[in-house]
Structure 1
Amino acid sequence: MRNERESFAGMAAFIASVEVGSFSAAAAKLGLTPSGVSKLVSRLEERLGVRLLQRTTRRMQLTQVGRAYYERARRILDELDALEREVESHDDAPRGAMRVTAPTVLGHVRVLPLLLSFQGTFPEVKIELLLNDRVVDLVEESIDVAVRMTASPPLSSVARKLGDDARVLCASPAYLSRRGRPGHPRDLADHDCIVFVAGGAVDDTWRLKPDPRSDEAEGVRVRGRFQANNTLSLREAALGGLGIVNLPAYLVGEDLRSGRLVAVLEGCVPIERAIYAVYPQAPFIPAKVRELVRHLVEGFAPGARDADAAVARPASRQEPR
């Protein structure tokens, strides 16, 4: 127990020193002496076998490993503080820090508004949203909740389905007036198609059903005069009349309702993935995680809100296909 107490004391001293900028200011904050804070941090470094802070007579600076340790340690103390306040108040209200990750475009268009409304309901929750297009290791990167688009969620985690990753083939009325509507997937060979490209790999084969009644999908080669590695750029190109595009339904919902874009080959695009809220398995699921997942499930439900109308335009890299 002594080593555990020293570890927490050293962690608290280190965090306070980083946040206020000196051992003397940290000492005043913690009710210790400057030499006491310095000794706690030095012992912490000795136990870890690494240098967390570079000290000079004028200032201290985090090392690379010190910065990583600070971020994790800060979360641990925030969690401990939240746990103690939950127990003291005898309630199960969501509070404390959370790290949430989601794909870039889906995260900005659908997840972000729900996180903002969640914080409006639970102001004691501090959220860090990480938008990226790679599969994040929940444990390694201390993720509380991940929103993922996948055909099969990981068995090692808990997954709640939020909805289907439905996609739509669509084009502007001007393009369709000029080139006509395709009546069958094979007709796409005679059309300009706007395609996604990532890392030099062009997504020029779209999986489509021969007709809406079919249960099987097949690859259809497409081509066109414009391609981009950004889903939002594909949408803008379609709005500009450059051709037919294959986009997520959540991104073009308002465009379709307003008539800025028109769906084609309805029913021929199979739903091959779903959207899930994923979180690590644990004996105790914090209230903040339970409530956020519930909030996401309700927010993604059909008719819950007109989320598709909020078409965003962030500067992003690429949306995973």
Structure 2
Amino acid sequence: MTSETTDLLSPGTHDVLVEGLNQRYHLYGSGPVCLAVPGGPGVSWEYLRAPALEEFLTMVYVEPLGTGGSERLPSHPDGYTRERYTRGLAGLLDLLALPRVFLLGHSHGGFVAQHFALHHADRLRGLVLYESAPVTGPEHMAEAAARVEEFAARNEGRAELPAALAGLQSVGTVTDDEGTTAALRALMPVYFARYWDRESEFRDLRAQVTCTYISPLDESGKPDVVDDRAGLTSLTVPTLVLVGQYDVICGPRWAQDLHALVPQSRLVVLNDSGHFGHLEQPAAFSDAVRAFVRSASA
């Protein structure tokens, strides 16, 4: 099941053992290595693939523990804390024998990337916080609710709107893989700037995306809450903050907070994107990352 060490950075799919658990990742492209951590948690990695980035980066798309081909914890669906995910990423870097890499985290993957950077800054050449936030909890939920109301107002009268909003509301009630996948597919239009105007582009992704149910609890049953505000003020890793203007879950308010907290970070707002700028504005997205990589590598 474990690939030969000399082949771990070859293109394709790889399975390795990290702390005794199978960890799967997918490698494409060439150039400096960038680990990419998807969101959810539990969303299948394929949605995050960005071929435009593979033109100048070796992209290592990680399937986090509990997701896809990576092994589940004995405590599944609990125990998938940021600390646990960080240990998995550090162990993967050890196996790949890579001293310093770029790290891109999307959505919940951004929360993981922040945690990794705060504990392993010496292992990073640069950090891309893509649709992330410095804190979760009541304030984050209230902001998301307000953004959803704005989305609903922009799309008032669309026949598909009630089903999308119902899918979003169901997220907190489902506790199995099938229900979580169904909810994700139903709510996906809410996560785009103009899904129904561009449905032909995104319909297949919506039909194919899957999600494993992973709880927000640690092994003892306590919530794994995010509050990185204090730590981020001392982060020394070169950081790019990327956000879609119309993102409802980790929108511009949180990107601006991250930018203000992280010293010498740069902020890029994609003006016609929601939560998936790499799909909605792939050229602008890749241009922002390319400029950042060049700057961080200088």
TM range (shorter): 0.3 to 0.5
- Name the one with the larger strand percent: 1
TM-score (norm 2): 0.33
Q: Which has the larger radius of gyration?
A: 1
